Amino acid sequence: MIRITIEIVPFGKEEYKRIIGEIKIINTVDHPERPEFGNYKVIIIEKDTKKEIRIKDHKRSEGIWALLDKILKKHKK
């Protein structure tokens, strides 16, 4: 699992930081015969809301930033 935690740090003071969002990216291992691709269950938590989306056939060689881009684009829909 990959976990991305988003914090706000008011006035740059660590003692006031708080988490405002989180993204959990879970590899579902749906097609082990094609290890160059990944399928993911993604849980996006923001305030009191929780949304689950799926990313299918992400080419692993594209890297984490391309995966995150796909997640954010799908989340906006």
C-beta separation of 55 from 66 below 8 A: no
> Which residue's entry shows tokens 């935690």?
5
The reported pLDDT for the residue numbered 4 is: 97
In percent, how much of the chain has pLDDT > 70? 99
DSSP annotation of 67 reads H
pLDDT-derived band at 27, boundaries 50, 70, 90: very high
Residue 12 reports pLDDT greater than 90: yes
The reported pLDDT for the residue numbered 35 is: 87
Please state the rounded mean pLDDT for residues 40-58: 95
Q: Average pLDDT, whole number, for the chain?
A: 94
Please state the rounded mean pLDDT for residues 39-60: 95
